[in-house]
């Protein structure tokens, strides 16, 4: 680290040289005292020359680092940021750590808006004023760029977060909301530039707070992922019919297949749907067509011996469906599915049967006959509840 501190007021690079010279002088003195100075002195002179040569080479390396172009240094800094999620600002972690190494590194890091675009902000415990000052400093360094934020709230402190984020609300394009114990509702519609939203919990059941939060989504939003939250037909029916009209991607956990037609009505522009839940037979006899759905993934969670005909494919027509993956739904409704394919006239390209789906090789062969270029996958290892 000393070799990088080229802009410090103290020349730290001379310290190793000084120590090594002292050590050599002590050794040479001891050798002289033992009456073997002539031979040992020549050996130590050679050793000292090698050390000096090594130090000169080391100084050149330090100088080379200090001369790195800003563009290359900036690329190195980007590799310091974790790729697997948003990080909580802390002085011992990048990007804040990069600002403390030396003056030049600090100037480069502060001026890189891309280092400050992905942040995790926590509220509800600890010294909020101190953290708010730190968070605001980081957000200012984003310089108007789009933000990807993770917000975690305990004990209904959303008001503090809203106040902090007000100057940056239009920059936020991706948002992960952690509804922890005691967290109330947060009006997602206020984030006018939002495109992607993920909601998760700590194992508590804030379903009503979440339902109020997403009762109206901003028109810009395209992707919604609801984790660890069970939505039923009653909750979905309480939403404004246009609340989710802009969504193109939806991941949701449902209680009962009756929610399926309701989801398709709420999201007329949906192209990808992942639906997980405890499935019971659809009771409606109404046939629903959805023109835009291209990808459908379904995973159930039930006792296979008790499964009957769920009526899943009797209730829908999907003329644009290209990919279907199913898991844990028991006996596969072969005849019902063939009728669905005939009715939909969809260009099916991929069909995946995961674990917990029972069918036969003969029936699988019929699908390949219907779609000669079909990618057919049978993989019992794909058996987890969540995708």
CA angle 72, 75, 76 (to 5 degrees): 90
Core vs surface per residue 44-74: b (16+ CB within 10 A) or e? beeebeeeeeeeeeeeeebeeeeeeeeeebb
Q: What is the pLDDT of residue 85?
A: 64
The pTM assigned to this predicted structure is 0.77
C-alpha to C-alpha distance for 91 and 134, rounded to whole angstroms: 10
Q: What does the alpha-carbon distance between residue 305 and residue 187 come to, in Å, rounded to a whole number?
A: 43
Calpha distance 139→152 (Å, rounded): 16
Place of tokens 């522009």: 269
Which pLDDT tens digit goes with each residue over 26-61?
A: 344 444 444 454 555 456 445 544 544 454 444 554
pLDDT tens digits, one per residue of 117-166: 888 888 766 677 888 888 888 899 989 899 999 888 777 678 888 888 88
Tell me which of 333 and 19 has the higher pLDDT. Answer: 333
Task: Please give the backbone phi and psi of residue 164, each rounded to the nearest 5 degrees, phi first.
Answer: -65, -40
Is 3:13 a contact under the CB 8 Å cutoff?
Answer: yes
Pick from 181, 186, 5, 12: which is nearest to 103 by CA? 5
Q: Which of 172-176, 302-306, 349-353 has the lowest mean pLDDT?
A: 302-306
Q: What is the DSSP string of 311-367?
A: -TTTSEE-TT--EEEEES-EE--HHHHHHHHHHHT----EEEE-TTEE--HHHHHHH
**Higher pLDDT pick, 108 / 86:** 108
């Amino acid at each position: 680290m000393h070799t990088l501190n080229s802009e410090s007021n103290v020349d730290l690079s001379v310290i190793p040289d000084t120590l090594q010279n002292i050590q050599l002088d002590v050794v040479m003195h001891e050798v002289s005292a033992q009456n073997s100075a002539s031979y040992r002195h020549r050996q130590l002179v050679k050793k000292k020359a090698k050390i000096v040569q090594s130090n000169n080479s080391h100084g050149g390396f330090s100088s080379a680092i200090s001369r790195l172009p800003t563009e290359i240094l900036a690329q190195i800094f980007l590799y310091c940021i974790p790729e697997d999620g948003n990080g909580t600002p802390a002085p011992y972690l990048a990007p804040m750590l990069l600002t403390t190494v030396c003056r030049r590194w600090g100037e480069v890091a502060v001026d890189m808006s891309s280092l400050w675009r992905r942040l995790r902000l926590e509220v509800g415990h600890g010294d909020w004023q101190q953290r708010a000052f730190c968070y605001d400093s980081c957000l200012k360094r984003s310089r108007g760029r789009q933000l990807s934020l993770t917000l975690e709230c305990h004990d209904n402190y959303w008001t503090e977060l809203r106040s902090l984020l007000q100057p940056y609300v239009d920059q936020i394009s991706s948002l992960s909301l952690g509804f922890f114990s005691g967290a109330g509702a947060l009006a997602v519609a206020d984030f006018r530039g939002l495109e992607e939203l993920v909601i998760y919990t700590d194992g508590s059941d804030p379903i009503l707070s979440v339902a109020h939060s997403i009762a109206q989504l901003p028109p810009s939003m395209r992707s919604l992922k609801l984790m660890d939250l069970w939505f039923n037909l009653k909750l979905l029916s309480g939403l404004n019919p246009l609340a989710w009209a802009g969504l193109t991607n939806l991941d949701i956990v449902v209680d009962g297949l009756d929610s399926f037609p309701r989801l398709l009505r709420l999201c007329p522009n949906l192209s990808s749907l992942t639906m997980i839940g405890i499935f019971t037979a659809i009771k409606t006899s109404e046939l629903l067509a959805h023109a835009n759905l291209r990808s459908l993934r379904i995973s159930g969670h039930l006792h296979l011996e008790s499964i009957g005909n769920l009526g899943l494919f009797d209730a829908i027509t999907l003329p644009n469906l290209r990919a279907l993956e199913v898991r844990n739904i028991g006996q596969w409704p072969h005849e019902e599915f063939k009728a669905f394919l005939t009715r939909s006239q969809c260009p099916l390209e991929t069909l995946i049967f995961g674990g917990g789906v029972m069918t036969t090789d003969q029936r699988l062969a019929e699908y390949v006959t219907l779609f000669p270029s079909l990618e057919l996958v049978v993989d019992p290892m794909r058996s987890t509840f969540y995708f």
